[in-house]
Structure 1
Amino acid sequence: MTAERPSAFAIWWQAARPHTLSLSVSPVLAGLVLALAETSRIDVPVAIVTMLAAIAIQIGTNLNNDAADAVNGTDQIDRVGPARITQKGWASPRQVFTAAHIAFGLAAVGGIYLVAVGGLPIMAIGILSLIAGYAYSSGPWPISRSPWGEAFVIAFFGLVAVAGSFYLQTGWVDLAAVLFGLVVGLPAAAVLLVNNTRDRETDTLAGRQTLAIRVGPDGANRLYGLLLWASFAVLFCLSLLGFPGVLLGVVAIPLARKAQRDFSAAHLPVDFNQCLARTAAFQMALCASASIGLVIIG
């Protein structure tokens, strides 16, 4: 169970999963840039707090997942993915759960300020996001153990995050915000699909019923391609609403092609880990290029 213990900083840096944080940064960036395109202004303090709160919620979700998966037996000694600090014995479940509570608490503190700005809709989004952060791995029906993980990601790392960030800047939500939420959320769900496809054998033994397990390797391959290429279809629909600049996002097509080839050819855990990084990079590149296009062209 134990392994050579890294430094305290390295342990908690590992637990925060910094390589995943682009999934919370991208939707906030998309919402802010869309708001700038529609109103020609950005409230910088609100934007900063929104970004920090989103990151804190994701870190809290990651930490809670680390501890919960060790406690419920999902993460065993033969885990094939990146190291989890509870499973490795580098921190106790209580310590990791406490760290998750602190992260969620910091998000709630930022949320108080955002509620003062955005009112009851933002309060509802904040409460739902905190509940979802816990419910992803904890509670009687953890989302991470079900086939609904990808839908959860599209909802909270796409639609809710983009629309919420946009609303805080504008005071309304429109179809463009919903579509941009899908553009960001669909490839974010693909990241989770890669993770769960890599872990499908150990997840099956742990009693999980993730979507990757339900659809099998061939179905996962088809679904992965659908998630990546559907994001470009939605991007095209967004451009028709008067935002042609988002089509700059097509520069990410080569990354999508490479990621899909890698996923189709992946067999070993190291292959899936590389594909995981490529998929996250694709999502960030798609969001960044579409956002730059919005700023430059509109």
Structure 2
Amino acid sequence: MSTSVPGVGPLATKPRPTVKSWLLAARPKTLTAALVPVLVGTGLAFGLGVGRWLPALAALLGAVLIQIGTNFINDYYDFKKGADTHERLGPVRVTQSGLIAPSTVLAGAAVCFALATAVGLYLVMVGGWPIVAIGVASLVCGFAYTGGPFPLGYHGLGDLFVFLFFGLVAVMGTYYVQAGTVDPAAVWAAVPVGASGTMLIVVNNLRDATTDVKAGKRTLVVRFGTGMGKAEYVLLLAVSYATPFAMYALGLASPWVFLALLSLPLSLAPLRLVLKAQGAALNPALGGTARLQLFYGVLFAVGLYLR
């Protein structure tokens, strides 16, 4: 059976991956979900005088590798399970479009996870057994997001996975490998990071609701409707901007933490689309939410660093 590539025609042999196609598979716009937790955890660590650059950089590299590996796994299994078809409304997926052979995409995920494990060995030397638990759980859940016998994303657990692993675990883990402990401020700082990362999943699920139903992908939006998805997005946004006030009130941050509020204007365009648009019209909301996450994260990290 031949594979077709848009604009190229049927191919009799396996497609030859290019740098461009691998970058497409890595989904660069989603990598803010890996970058922001490390920025926030590191900003807080240096603000409290316990920051260490080498563990911070290792945590960043490990997080990015796990994110890319998870994206590859998602690309492969969404195609295999029928969630990614010619009806897809979002950006091109390399497996579904035939740009990279399925087995090659899966091998790419394995390489990313192996490299993340190698980075993790250094972090284990720094942080001890808790890092082993965090690393193993992150790798397993990264695969299980769309793979395995119980894919999390197909059973409405994708939102929880992102909030936990790209929010709580990532921020507190980044802080821990530098400080050797977890300050209460790190727990609070992880909340808006997890919330903003989950907002990306919500937009994705709202856009793909129709095709997800056909593929049997039971996201929260599919289970409870688009109204619930819109309400979830608004709630997560509200939590993100309420957290600086809570941290200041609890004495866990200085007034500089309110720098994060400067990103608020960036929330208006994606919020408007989430509330009014549907289908492919939500693609700009995905990019807008990623930009919001990045700008909020940078400002929040600077605010936690300044004392």
- TM-score category by the smaller chain? over 0.9
Alignment match of 1:131 (pick from 140, 153, 164): 140
Matched, 1:12 2:12: no
1:33 aligned residue: 43
Identify which of 55, 76, 86 aligns with 2:95.
86
What is the alpha-carbon distance in structure 2 between the residues aligned to residue 268 and residue 75 of structure 1? 14
Aligned residue for 1:256? 267
> CA RMSD for the aligned pairs?
1.4
Deviation at 1:235, TM superposition (A): 2.2
Match of 1:247 among 227, 251, 258: 258
Judged with a 3 Å threshold, the aligned counterparts in structure 2 of structure 1 residues 74 and 268 are, in CA distance, closer, same or farther, namely: closer
User: Which residue of 2 is the match for residue 159 of structure 1?
Assistant: 168
Identify the match of residue 204 of structure 1 among 209, 213, 226. 213
The correspondence of residues 9-158 of structure 1 with structure 2, limited to 5 A, is 9-39=19-49, 41-158=50-167
Using the alignment, how far apart are the partners of 1:233 and 1:81 within structure 2?
31
**173-182 or 233-242: bigger deviation:** 233-242
Q: What do the CA deviations read for 1:47-96 (whole angstroms, capped 9, x no partner)?
A: 11111110000000000110111112211121111111110111111100
Q: What is the deviation of 1:291?
A: 1.4
Residue 288 in 1 paired to residue 298 in 2?
yes
Distance 1:13 1:216 in 2: 33
Quote the offset at 1:174 in angstroms: 2.2
SS of alignment partner, residue 64 of structure 1: helix
Cα distance, 1:45 vs structure 2: 1.6
Query: Corresponding residue for 2:285?
Result: 275
1:178 Cα deviation from its structure 2 partner: 1.0
Amino acid corresponding to residue 164 of structure 2 in structure 1 = A
User: Which of 3, 6, 11 lines up with 2:6 in the alignment?
Assistant: 3
- 1:7 deviation in Å? 6.8
The alpha carbon displacement at 1:230 in A equals 1.0
TM-score, normalising length: structure 2: 0.93
Runs (4 or more) in structure 1 with deviation over 6 Å come to none
Q: Secondary structure at the match of 1:91?
A: coil
Query: Within 2, Cα distance between the matches of 1:188 and 1:259?
Result: 14
The letter for the 1-side match of 2:168 is L
Matches of 1:267 and 1:101 in 2, distance apart? 35
Q: CA deviation at 1:257?
A: 2.8
In 2, the alpha carbon distance for the partners of 1:93 and 1:107 equals 21
Distance (whole Å) between structure 1 residues aligned to residue 176 and residue 133 of structure 2: 13
Deviates more, 1:242-251 or 1:274-283: 242-251
Q: Is the 8 A contact 2:269 2:285 kept in 1?
A: no
The aligned length equals 295
Structure 2: which 5+ runs fail to align?
Answer: 9-15
**For 1:158 and 1:35, how far apart are their aligned partners in 2?**
16
Residue type of the partner of 2:274? F
TM-score by length of 1: 0.95
Q: Percent identity?
A: 39
- Superposed CA offset, 1:1-53 (max 9, x none): 432469701110000001110110000111011111112x4322211111111
Question: SS where residue 137 of structure 1 aligns?
Answer: coil
Counterpart CA distance in 1 for 2:268 and 2:187 is 25
For 2:293, the aligned partner's letter is Q
Unaligned runs of 5+ in 1: none
3-state SS in 1 of match to 2:48: helix
CA distance in 2, matches of 1:214, 1:235: 32
Counterparts of 2:143 and 2:226 in 1: how far apart (Å)?
29
Please say if 1:173 is aligned against 2:176: no
How far apart, in 2, do the equivalents of 1:280 and 1:95 lie? 28
Aligned to 1:21, the other structure's residue is in SS state: helix
The residue identity in structure 1 corresponding to 2:156 is: P
Distance 2:183 2:221 in 1: 33
The one-letter code sitting in structure 1 at the alignment partner of 2:115 is L
